[in-house]
Chain A
Amino acid sequence: MRLGILVNEGPYTHQASDSAYQFVKAAIAKGHAIHRVFFYHDGVNNSTKHTEPPQDDRHLVNRWSKLAGEHGIDLVVCVAAALRRGIKDEMLAPGFRISGLGQLVETGIEGDRLVVFGD
């Protein structure tokens, strides 16, 4: 199946990004395709390369980047939500790109399911 994912919360404060990541990893292992992961609301904060968690904590941003690099997953950050929160192109970690909400709707149309993770 082709699965679309929506992440509505930033890293660390909420478990949403962790849950979405574990779900995506399991889906890929089972042979499903991830059509896109869309980051909305505070979820856009998952995309910044300036994120530096303590050494003994998981690095949520790098995990997403790595997954995108290894499996060609499209990580899209909503432009309007990003601008509202001070996230710009030059701050993005590898694998992320900024685009419009149309990309979320398109994932709803093109994907077989849209799974939402949030607060």
Chain B
Amino acid sequence: MLHIVNKSPYERNALESCLRLALPGAALLLIEDGVYAATRGNVAEPRLREAMQRMDIYALRPDLEARGMAGRVIQGVKLVDYDGFVDLVCERPNCQSWL
């Protein structure tokens, strides 16, 4: 399963719920305002680091760049462009957007 989260962890509980309901081995892609969760020192960093032990975590580079956050990414978060987003969708058997 590819989980897609597009909301800042300060605004919504989407990331928190996603991590609660993601099985080990799943992938998480942070897009739009969701990319703030991938930056150093943000409120979700401890949860994200813990989740990294059991799942692959990605963030959409164009969304990080647009927000001036490209240089602040937590080590271990993999950056992808839109074609990487497409690959993730195709590689995983299913996907879910946490709207």
Touching chains A and B, CB distance < 8 Å? yes
On whether A118 and B99 interact (CB within 8 A), knowing A15-B32, A19-B31, A113-B94, the answer reads yes
Interface CB pairs A-B, < 8 A, 5 = A15-B6, A16-B32, A19-B31, A32-B90, A112-B90
A113 & B95 in contact (Cβ 8 Å cutoff): yes
Please tell me the number of chain A residues within 8 Å of chain B, measured between CB atoms: 22
B89 & A22 in contact (Cβ 8 Å cutoff): no
B3 to chain A, nearest CB (A): 12
A19 & B99 in contact (Cβ 8 Å cutoff): no
Of the 9-residue stretches B18-26, B39-47, B48-56, B78-86, which lies at the interface with chain A? B78-86
Select one of A26, A117, A118, A119 contacting B86, CB under 8 A: A26
Question: Does B97 reach chain A (CB closer than 8 Å)?
Answer: yes
B1 to chain A, nearest CB (A): 11
Which range holds the interface residue count of chain B? 10 to 19
* Residues of A bordering B, CB below 8 Å: 1, 3, 8, 15-16, 19, 22-23, 25-27, 29-30, 32, 112-119
A119 to B87, CA, bound (A): 23
Contacts of A22 in B (CB 8 A): 62, 82
Contacts of A26 in B (CB 8 A): 81-83, 85-86
